[in-house]
Structure 1
Amino acid sequence: MNFKFLKTAISLLTILTIFSCEKDSEASIVEEQEEGDEIVTTNFSYTVVDTNVSDFYSNDAIISVPIKGDDFYGQDATYNGNQPSYTDNGDGTVTDNVTGLMWQQDMGDKMSYADAVALVETFNLGEYTDWRIPTIKELYSLAQFTGRCFGDDAVDMFIDVNYFNQPIGNESIGEREIDGQTWSVTQYVGEIMTGKEAVFGYNFVDGRLKGYPKYKPATGAANTMYFRMVRGNTSYGKNDFVDNEDGTITDNATGLMWQQADNGENYDWENGLKYAESLILADYSDWRMPNAKELQTIVDYTRSPQTTNSPAIDPLFSCTEITDYNGNSGQYGYYWTSSPLQDGPTPYTDAVYFCFGEAEGEMNGVLLDVHGAGAQRNDPKSGSTADYPDTFGPQGDIRKVYNFVRCVRNVN
């Protein structure tokens, strides 16, 4: 069943009923917010595209639609944002009707960062010549969290394959199927692993955003990734923050209002959802846990603990400082999102988080920043760290299970 369609229909019926009873428009807005369905924000320079998630999850299974007050209410599918909408222009380009960005449909072969920078200078597609390499925020606008992988194997892409060609890794040359990462133009301001330069990219095959080494660690040769060129809406990804001086920050570019400071507490995913749904701040009670694409809008990729001694977020915001597993101070935690990430034989156990501090992992017994501040990974929704191996994946991602929450609401 298409739950998002059903919820939208219910919301529209509710509004029509209210108007037929000659209640004022304010009442209709209150009713719609109480249902918690429609959170569409259009006509912004940095309009956030919905994740396209319509299924509901417990800690380990798909569940029926929770209602307000139920466990797991407030997760991604509860709220209906700006639904993905594309137009195939028939000339090798695709227009995103929500963001106003036009995209290259087929990426071709992998190439080095330097080669992509050179290529885009003379790139001509669809009779347009003003193409550019996308920023990581532009690139992430295409992500859809209906994808799934199974370890190293691809299952369902994290992009709409009805419009975009998404290649996978070539196993015949030793790659994994999930080695289909797409680079952005955004370079990490710090260093990953042991002093390595990195470029942020999103993996539309496995659903993670990471800083990937610019050069191959083993040989020093230029690394290669896919690139998908973009044009149009040069304001996309640029924030316009205002401190409301009441514990909230408004981003006039996205139409979202944010909790200025986290509350210093760590939650498992279910209790993080409950905290967000119950928050009353600055006389607003319609706060929620942000989905992955909403939370990424406030990552500041010009900042990091290594280079600015700060989290990767605008200084108007506050993040609780933590010590890492080695006792190093000056670090910052993971922040939950309401979005799922499906991977492996038990695909419903994890949710997405963002690293506003270093994205730490343990490699060869050494704790390192392996993916860069601003990376997006995933954690188990429930249990304790003792229930799982300390690390996950080839770069030894540190598992925490209990993470911070920064709440969001729509500016009405």
Structure 2
Amino acid sequence: MSISKIKKAVALVALAVLASCGGGGGGGGTTEARVTGVADAQVLEGDTGTSTLRFVVSLDKAVGSGVHLTWSTVTTYKGGTGAATGGATCGAGVDYISVSNRDLLIAAGNTSAEIQVTVCGDTTFEPNETLAVKWSTVDNSGTALGTIVNDDAGGLNGTGVAGSYGRDSNPLTNDGTDGRLGFSFAQVASGACTRDKVTGLLWENKAGTGTHSPSGTYTYANLAAFVAAVNAENLCGFNDWRLPTPEELASLVDNGSGGVPAIDSTFFPNSQPSPYWTSTTTQDGLGTNAWFVDFLTGAVSWDNKTNAKAARLVSNGGSTAPAPLPTSCTDSTRFTNNGDGTISDKRTGLMWKQCAEGLSGTSCTTGAGGSFDWNAALARPAATNADANGSGLGYADWRLPTRAELSSITEREQCFNPAANQATFANAEPLGFWTSTPYAYNTSLAWAVDFMEGEVGPALKTGSGSSSKRVRLVRAGQ
């Protein structure tokens, strides 16, 4: 036999072998279906029992005789979220049931399938958390991301200024009828009160000419009688009404609307564009001043207690206990030092860089520090994220905090000069720090937080000495 005939015979045999294999068991020369991908998934966590993350498996055609896919769950991080914790069974601290090297058989005739991960419900506020599903077949592999969306009261209002973070950036928690971007309200008792579904707090509304008159004002000495009258009334079925803390009251400020007053007037009718008292006396040692929130613009400041201002009371409303106030400037119950240059906030789910930008080291004393105008502050996270294993401290999703986020770490109740937890945030500076929130009433301004006492107000973005401020970066959250 000639060499050319031998080559032709070998080729024919090879073709016959390939035809008999069928590309995965289909037989008859038909290749088996191929998994082309697994889609990301998300689910609301739920308060009790379990829910299911459903990852849709796509194939290029109907399965002939059967396709095997092997998959495992892996804890991971994604920008803007935390890491979900897996376990063998649901219980304290477990977010989902872990799976390792499980076989999924996709039966004949199917054009798609599902990978299902069991999610454990609870009533504890957490940021949205993620896990990964790693999968493989004989000829393909990949990773899909699962997000467990928090649905428990807690966290911060109004964090979704840019639409990238916060409740309204996610379709599972976005409701166009419950308030503007980042808020979620519901009227109670025919509008006598409003429930904040993010924080869980219940708020007094203003109407009429009596106890709840919109025009009522009080010196600080008169506030106790007002609180007693509302509790005696058992407003909306509760008798635990009190003055809110600065952070609680500031949680109602709508920074994005540019409206006057700076609050959702649909859910808080008859609100006045004026200052409202809070429960907190300033820590300057005088004892004569107290904090207020000005609903003309949303600024947080202080004034002498003898001056009359409006007041809006808050109730626990039978939902969650109020966040415990710090007992000292070195209180250790709220924050966790992760030992890697980051600080985790158990109250909000946020992770902070321990040091302001330009400083480093365990005591944040290495470096000269850095001051930025607003545009430079907005650009700073990109440089940090590009150096994830260096200045990024192992993360690549740092961002400039919103007004609500940065204000949340002030400690006005116990601290002064600086108004910050001095054990948690080493070398905390009593200086102004930028937020990412623009000032809706003047495009030349943006919100800043002054850590001398804890004031929150607008500042020029650029072009003057007042535009030079510090930066502290944040990640994770709702």
TM-score (norm 1): 0.65
Name the CA distance, whole Å, in 1 between partners of 2:241 and 2:354.
Answer: 36
- Give the counterpart of 1:206 among 297, 306, 310: 297
- Give the counterpart of 1:317 among 409, 413, 425: 425
> Contact 1:88–1:163 at 8 Å: present in 2 too?
yes
> Contact 1:336–1:353 at 8 Å: present in 2 too?
yes
- Give the counterpart of 2:309 among 215, 225, 231: 225
Equivalent residues, number: 302
Match of 2:237 in 1: 127
SS at match of 1:295: helix
User: 1:156 offset after TM fit, Å?
Assistant: 2.9
Q: Are residues 1:115 and 2:210 paired?
A: no
Q: Which runs of 5+ in 1 are unaligned?
A: 1-12, 34-38, 54-75, 149-154, 169-177, 216-222, 322-331, 358-372, 386-399
Which has a greater percent of strand? 2
Relative distance call for 1:237 and 1:209 in structure 2 (3 A) is farther
User: 1:319 offset after TM fit, Å?
Assistant: 4.3
User: Counterpart of 1:118 in structure 2: which amino acid?
Assistant: A
Name the CA distance, whole Å, in 2 between partners of 1:271 and 1:24.
Answer: 42
Show the 5 A alignment for 1:2-81.
19-20=56-57, 30=78, 40=128, 42=150, 46-51=154-159, 53=161, 76-81=162-167
Name the CA distance, whole Å, in 2 between partners of 1:269 and 1:18.
Answer: 41
- Give the counterpart of 1:88 among 187, 207, 211: 187
> Contact 1:147–1:157 at 8 Å: present in 2 too?
no
User: 1:141 offset after TM fit, Å?
Assistant: 1.3
Q: Are residues 1:356 and 2:455 paired?
A: no
> Contact 2:281–2:287 at 8 Å: present in 1 too?
no
Relative distance call for 1:334 and 1:247 in structure 2 (3 A) is same
User: 1:78 offset after TM fit, Å?
Assistant: 4.0
SS at match of 2:321: coil
Relative distance call for 1:304 and 1:252 in structure 2 (3 A) is closer
User: Counterpart of 2:322 in structure 1: which amino acid?
Assistant: S
Q: Are residues 1:378 and 2:458 paired?
A: yes
Name the CA distance, whole Å, in 2 between partners of 1:348 and 1:185.
Answer: 32
- Give the counterpart of 2:254 among 141, 144, 153: 144
Show the 5 A alignment for 1:253-268.
253-263=347-357, 264-268=369-373
| Percent of aligned pairs with the same amino acid | 26
What RMSD, in angstroms, separates the aligned Cα atoms of the two structures? 3.0
User: 1:289 offset after TM fit, Å?
Assistant: 0.7
Q: Are residues 1:102 and 2:202 paired?
A: yes
Match of 1:183 in 2: 277
User: 1:91 offset after TM fit, Å?
Assistant: 5.0
Structure 1 or 2, whichever has the larger Rg, is 2
- Give the counterpart of 1:297 among 408, 426, 434: 408
Q: Deviations over 1:137-158 (max 9, x none)?
A: 111111110243xxxxxx5332
Higher RCO structure, 1 or 2 (CA under 8 Å, sep 6+): 1
Relative distance call for 1:189 and 1:210 in structure 2 (3 A) is same
Name the CA distance, whole Å, in 2 between partners of 1:268 and 1:352.
Answer: 12
> Contact 1:311–1:356 at 8 Å: present in 2 too?
yes
SS at match of 1:162: coil
TM-score (norm 2): 0.57
- Using the TM superposition, name which of 245-254 and 196-205 deviates more: 196-205
Show the 5 A alignment for 1:322-401.
332-343=430-441, 347-357=442-452, 373-385=453-465, 400-401=466-467
Relative distance call for 1:32 and 1:187 in structure 2 (3 A) is closer
User: 1:29 offset after TM fit, Å?
Assistant: 6.1
